[in-house]
Amino acid sequence: MEDRIASICLEKYAMLKKTGKPTENEWTVLSGVVLQNIYEDLSVVALCTGTKCLSGKELNSPNIIDRGDRLSDSHAEVLARRAFLRFLYDQIELLLKSGDSDVFYMEDKKIRLKDISFHFFSSQTPCGDCSIIPKLQLRTDRKRPKLDNEPIQESDFGAIITDIYRTGAKCLVNDERQDSQQKGADYHITGPIRTKPGRGDRTQSLSCSDKIARWNVLGAQGALLSLMIPSIRFESITIGGGCPYSSESMNRGIYMRFDPKIQGPVIKQSKISFDCKKSHSRTRPCPTSIVWCAVLEKEVEIAVNGFRQGMTKKKIKSRRLAISRKEIFKTFLKVSHLYSELRNESLSNHPKKIYYHDCKQYALSYQNTWRDYLTTFRNWPLKNRDLYECLSF
């Protein structure tokens, strides 16, 4: 199954135009979401590349006048999830307008999920806790020298941890648990929430390991969509071949470090690798991101530095990325209006100005579930409300 998922994502990537793809000496990460129907057919519904993330200084820059116009986190895993949200909104709109959707159906004026599943793919292990992987070295533990032509038995070997693969993601400043940065296998501590790697001023975006862990308990659909649809969790996570991988590290990073009783996805590594991954010949991170999803309009966008490629200050409102917070909120308001009309719900009491932060708080079940997990997801930081609570239409 993992090879089928990796293969279909790489095939879709190969079909995309060259625009936004890395040059010969650049590398990138590829992530996607795959739909599996009742007949076990697979289809890619979201596919993105990306390696970049805004620093805290960039994110809080006074030059960003309209909050929600710019992506703060452009790692492939995060973009793929945002593209997946756009796909879900598109499917809901199709259902409400025509009654036809590959994902949803209506029953008692409520949106239900069809008998399908979703699978997540990433060409490399997510940054953060999942990437803290032991380096094992095999050594002989024989009590006597091996004779000439004597076969080596499996029992002759023992695996020892000589070092660990490291992550650039940093522990939160306010967490008493910090990396020792000692040589060898003790360089990192496992468990804490981390912020993404970044040069210079540290980022405020949490690592992909932490974000995927949150999707696992709350659903990838997020707070806004939970007002209309059931929770959607990824049934499996596939990591591309040719990169450091440990099932123990992946399981720990996604759910075991928070609570062993949390149900996690099936996690496996494919034998198939991504040609544009980091290597001795690909040493520079690609500055652009490709954002693709299976929607009717503008299925492909190219992002640079959190904006759509070619964007200027004069065109910021007309050239926002469709997966930007502001455009997704705009789509939510449009689709939720259609849903309310279908359910014959009165719109007369709705305020003239609707705020992003308020709408997220209306998702009581989602918010209550997250509050229950906050003690488990220790030290999870609250978002800077100045960055998004003023976002409104």
Q: Which residues are catalytic?
A: 77
Burial 108-142 (b: 16+ CB within 10 A, else e): eeebeeeeebbbbbbbbbbbbbbbbbbeeeeeeee
Query: Which two three-digit tokens encode residue 54?
Result: 């805004």
End-to-end Cα distance, the chain = 43
Query: Which residue's structure tokens are 């981390």?
Result: 194
Pair 72, 204: CB distance under 8 Å: yes
Residue type, 164: I
